[in-house]
Structure formats: structure tokens, C-alpha cells
């Protein structure tokens, strides 16, 4: 039975954030690369789980049962299975040359004078197809650095442009872990969230491109990597099927099979390599897989002790004082909660997992459609993540380009524009979609 609203129930969450962020700050001050990723999040959350168990007023066996029920929650397990399939697709497609094909395809159609907006578009397309901003940056950074040095483009700006494009796809892709987490926690179809997201992401992307066109990058012709462009088809295949509303398990399974089939026909991709790459893809999702399970259990304990009730009522009270329209209150509540959480944990997927249940409650109270709350949840997690100087994206690009992370983060123009466009639409688009307009979730 759920207890009354209690701030004390949030102490385990505070402990997790203190350990995770505190370790990151310590390693950052001592000059360790990727400082905020030295303490693995599934390890950082273990003391928080122990504290949550100790704080519970249930009998000990009931506390454990509550935790295990949270770990085994249908949405958590479904999300974890999707993570595995998404990791397998990304790994198989990359192994067969799909990433190189996507890069080459983009560079084939970009004039030299359009290099900055062109790289933004390439990063956006590749990230949307791969479902990972870090994978996109890893694939594009060497190519972009060479192009920047050859054409004399300001490297901090170029690094910021790549992060901007990578965050576009991280936010929008149907195989991104942020999309998976947002749709599962809010209870909506991926295709519905994708369409709702487009209404905010596309205007922001257009504004970003217009801004980047204003820079003179000269006429240095880009060097196009050798690649079989046919290998890019599996990426477009899964995007089209997802937008059509096909079940995400079917989409990802078909994507894996198609990527492997193209590889076997074009680059002599072997069955043994195929099986090994599927497992590598599974292994690449190990951290987020474990963290999702453990957060599910921790959230169940916090919820049972009244922590989520307290958080929802606190955010609700603040937004009620600021906004009269119930859907505006819900939208700003989701945005504010998500942004603050991401500032603390420096990880957009973790942010969504931590904020998801409270965001859903705020959306229900404000009659905001799940597709809208999922979209806002993902948008503001990606906005903050892309602009954080201690986020993985800025740290990686800083190391790759020989820059400080702050030089990268201040140039991620799309992230700032996306946040501004989302806030403007919340303010001026009244009413937002209500829950009664949503079709039942099927994925």
C-alpha cells in the first residue's frame, strides 16, 4: 500500500545523485577523461537501493517483494528488450558498412559552401538512423575534423554542429534509448511520439540550418569515404516502418535481418560474424539495461513510500502558481523536472527513467496527451544533455578535437534553439493535445 506523500522517501534518489555527480566532479577536478562516466551508474545506485529498503516501513519480505516487482514491471522489461534489439541493429549495421554508407551518402550531396549545415544534416540523419548520439559522433568526428582543418572552419563551432546534429537524432530516433524510455514510461506509441516530436524538432532544425548558412566555409571539396551506398537502405527501412506504426519489436528484428542480408550480399558478411555482432550489440546495452532494471526497483520503493507523490505535488504546486492553463502547467512541469534532473545526472536516458513516472502523473493531472509528455520528456533531456559541458558528448568532442568541453557546449546551437522552440510552443499553442485524443498504446 502506498504511503502518504513524503520528502524522506526521496533520500535514496538524492544519495544516488550525490554519488553519481560527486564522483564525476571529483574525477573532473583530478583531470580524468570522461570524468562523469568513471563510476558506473548501476554501481552508484546500489547504496540508494539499500537505503530505500532500510527506510521502508513494510515487513522486510514485503520490501524485497516491492523492489522485485518494480524490477519486473512490464514497461521496464519491455524497454530492456527493446534496448537489446536496438543495440544489435546498430552493431550489425555498423559492421556491414551501414554507417560509412550513411556518411558517404550525405557527403555526395553537400556542396562545399554548405559544409556546416550539411554536416549538421548528416549527423542528424545518421543519429536518427543509428539511435545513438555517441555512436554518431564516433563515426563522424574523424571525417569532420579532417574537413574542418582542410577548410579552416572554426573547430569549436564545427564540434558544436556535430553534437547538435547528433542530439537531433538522439531525441527523434525510434531506436534511441531516450525514445524507448520516454514512450514506455508515458505509455504511448513510438510513431505517435515521433510525429509529436517532429512538430518541434523540424522548426528548430530549420532555424539552425538558416543560422549555419550564414557562415562562410569557402569552397574546399570534401573527401568522400569509400562506401556502398546500398548499405544505407536498412536505416531508411526501419525509419519508414516505425513511422507507419509497425510494432517496434518487428521493426528492429526486420532491421537486423535486412542489415545482415545486405552485408552478406555486398561485403561477404558471414553468419558467424552476424551472431557475434548481435551479442556485441546486446553487450553494448549492458549498462543501461542493468540501470533500467535497478531504477525500476528503486522507483517502486520510492513510490510505495510516497516519494513520487511528494515530487509530483511539489512540481504541481509551483506550476499552478505560474500558469492557469492545466495543460501548460503539465507541460512546464515535465520540462522543468526533466531539465533539473538532467543537470544533476548528466545522462539523458537516466534522466528520463528517473523523471518518467512523475512526468506521467503530471500529464494525467493536466490532461496532457502521453505523446506530448513523451515528446517533452525526451526533448528537454536532450536539450540539457547536449548543452552540458560535463556531458559525454561535449567531453568526447573536446577530446577528439583538442578543445575544452565548454568550447563545445556553448556552440551546440540546435540544443538551445530546440529548447526555445519547445517553450514557445508550450506558451503559444493552446490548447495542447488532450489525453482523450490519444489512441491506445500498441507498442
pLDDT tops 80 at residue 376? yes
In a domain, 30, yes or no: no
In a domain, 37, yes or no: no
Task: Write the pLDDT tens digit of every residue in 282-299.
Answer: 998 888 788 888 988 998
Across the chain, mean pLDDT equals 83
Q: Scanning the structure block, which residue is given the C-alpha cell 579532417?
A: 146
* CB distance 167 to 204 below 8 Å: no
In a domain, 137, yes or no: yes
Average pLDDT of the segment spanning 115-119 = 87
Best CA proximity match to 177, nearest among 296, 95, 286, 25: 286
In a domain, 302, yes or no: no
pLDDT tops 90 at residue 280? yes
Cell of 113: 559552401
pLDDT at 344: 65
pLDDT band (50, 70, 90) for residue 441: very low
Range of the domain at 314: 74-216+227-288+308-432
pLDDT at 221: 58
pLDDT at 25: 85
Q: Scanning the structure block, which residue is given the C-alpha cell 537486423?
A: 256
Task: Enumerate residues 6+ apart whose C-beta is below 8 A from 270.
Answer: 264
Between the alpha carbon of residue 293 and those of residues 65, 68, 71, 175, 354, the distances in Å are 14, 9, 5, 19, 12
Question: H helices within 214-284, ranges in order?
Answer: 233-243, 248-266, 271-284
DSSP-derived 3-state class of residue 275: helix
Task: Enumerate residues 6+ apart whose C-beta is below 8 A from 327.
Answer: 366, 367, 368, 430, 431, 432, 434
Average pLDDT of the segment spanning 37-59 = 91
pLDDT at 273: 95
Comparing 84-88, 137-141, 175-179, 274-278, the range with the smallest average pLDDT is 137-141
pLDDT tops 60 at residue 179? yes
Average pLDDT of the segment spanning 361-380 = 90
* CB distance 373 to 362 below 8 Å: yes
Could you give the number of structural domains in the chain? 1
In a domain, 194, yes or no: yes
Most confident of 73-87, 138-152, 168-182: 168-182
pLDDT at 415: 95
Percentage of the residues of the chain whose pLDDT score is greater than 70: 88
pLDDT at 434: 55
In a domain, 7, yes or no: no
Average pLDDT of the segment spanning 349-371 = 86
Buried b (16+ CB within 10 A) or exposed e, 110-141: beeeebbbbbbbbbbbbbbbbbbbebbbbbbb
pLDDT at 381: 92
The rounded distance, in Å, linking the Cα atoms of 131 and 124 is 10
* CB distance 159 to 411 below 8 Å: yes
* CB distance 151 to 190 below 8 Å: no
In a domain, 61, yes or no: no
Question: H helices within 323-412, ranges in order?
Answer: 326-345, 348-365, 370-387, 392-401, 405-409
In a domain, 301, yes or no: no
Task: Write the pLDDT tens digit of every residue in 381-440.
Answer: 999 999 988 777 887 788 778 787 788 999 999 999 999 999 998 888 644 555 544 333
pLDDT at 245: 62
Average pLDDT of the segment spanning 128-140 = 77
Average pLDDT of the segment spanning 189-208 = 92
pLDDT at 1: 67
Task: Write the pLDDT tens digit of every residue in 207-233.
Answer: 999 999 888 765 555 566 666 778 878
The rounded distance, in Å, linking the Cα atoms of 221 and 150 is 9
pLDDT band (50, 70, 90) for residue 442: very low
Task: Write the pLDDT tens digit of every residue in 233-273.
Answer: 887 777 677 667 677 788 789 889 998 998 899 888 999 99
Between the alpha carbon of residue 4 and those of residues 70, 262, 302, the distances in Å are 19, 56, 11
pLDDT at 438: 38
pLDDT at 260: 93
Amino acid at each position: 500500500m502506498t504511503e502518504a506523500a513524503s520528502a524522506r522517501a526521496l533520500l535514496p534518489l538524492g544519495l544516488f545523485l550525490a554519488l553519481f555527480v560527486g564522483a564525476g566532479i571529483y574525477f573532473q577536478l583530478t583531470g580524468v577523461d570522461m570524468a562523469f562516466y568513471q563510476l558506473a551508474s548501476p554501481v552508484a545506485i546500489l547504496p540508494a537501493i539499500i537505503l530505500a529498503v532500510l527506510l521502508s516501513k513494510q515487513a522486510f519480505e514485503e520490501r524485497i517483494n516491492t523492489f522485485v516487482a518494480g524490477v519486473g514491471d512490464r514497461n521496464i522489461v519491455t524497454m530492456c528488450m527493446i534496448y537489446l534489439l536496438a543495440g544489435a541493429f546498430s552493431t550489425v549495421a555498423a559492421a556491414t558498412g551501414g554507417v560509412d554508407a550513411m556518411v558517404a551518402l550525405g557527403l555526395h550531396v553537400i556542396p562545399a559552401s554548405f559544409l556546416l549545415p550539411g554536416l549538421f544534416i548528416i549527423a542528424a540523419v545518421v543519429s536518427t538512423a543509428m539511435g545513438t548520439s555517441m555512436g554518431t559522433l564516433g563515426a563522424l568526428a574523424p571525417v569532420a575534423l579532417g574537413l574542418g582543418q582542410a577548410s579552416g572552419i572554426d573547430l569549436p563551432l564545427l564540434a558544436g554542429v556535430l553534437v547538435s546534429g547528433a542530439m537531433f537524432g538522439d531525441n527523434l530516433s525510434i531506436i534511441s534509448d531516450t525514445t524507448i524510455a520516454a514512450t514506455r514510461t508515458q505509455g504511448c506509441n513510438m510513431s505517435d511520439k515521433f510525429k509529436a516530436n517532429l512538430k518541434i524538432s523540424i522548426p528548430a532544425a530549420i532555424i539552425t540550418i538558416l543560422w549555419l548558412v550564414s557562415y562562410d566555409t569557402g569552397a574546399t571539396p570534401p573527401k568522400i569515404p569509400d562506401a556502398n551506398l546500398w548499405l544505407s537502405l536498412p536505416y531508411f527501412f526501419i525509419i519508414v516502418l516505425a513511422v507507419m506504426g509497425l510494432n517496434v519489436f518487428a521493426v528492429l528484428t526486420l532491421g537486423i535481418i535486412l542489415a545482415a542480408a545486405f552485408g552478406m550480399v555486398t561485403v561477404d558478411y558471414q553468419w558467424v560474424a552476424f551472431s557475434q555482432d548481435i551479442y556485441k550489440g546486446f553487450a553494448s546495452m549492458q549498462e543501461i539495461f542493468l540501470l533500467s532494471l535497478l531504477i525500476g526497483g528503486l522507483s517502486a520503493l520510492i513510490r510505495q513510500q510516497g516519494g513520487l507523490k511528494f515530487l509530483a505535488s511539489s512540481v504541481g504546486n509551483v506550476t499552478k502558481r505560474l500558469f492557469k492553463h492545466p495543460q501548460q502547467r503539465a507541460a512546464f512541469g515535465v520540462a522543468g523536472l526533466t531539465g533539473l534532473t538532467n543537470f544533476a545526472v548528466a545522462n539523458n536516458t537516466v534522466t528520463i527513467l528517473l523523471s518518467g513516472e512523475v512526468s506521467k502523473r503530471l500529464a494525467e493531472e493536466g490532461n496532457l496527451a502521453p505523446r506530448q509528455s513523451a515528446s517533452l520528456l525526451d526533448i528537454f533531456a536532450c536539450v540539457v544533455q547536449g548543452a552540458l559541458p560535463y556531458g559525454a558528448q561535449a567531453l568526447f568532442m573536446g577530446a577528439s578535437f583538442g578543445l575544452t568541453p565548454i568550447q563545445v557546449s556553448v556552440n551546440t546551437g540546435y540544443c538551445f534553439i530546440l529548447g526555445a522552440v519547445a517553450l514557445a510552443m508550450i506558451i503559444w499553442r493552446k490548447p495542447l493535445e488532450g489525453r482523450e485524443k490519444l489512441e491506445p498504446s500498441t507498442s
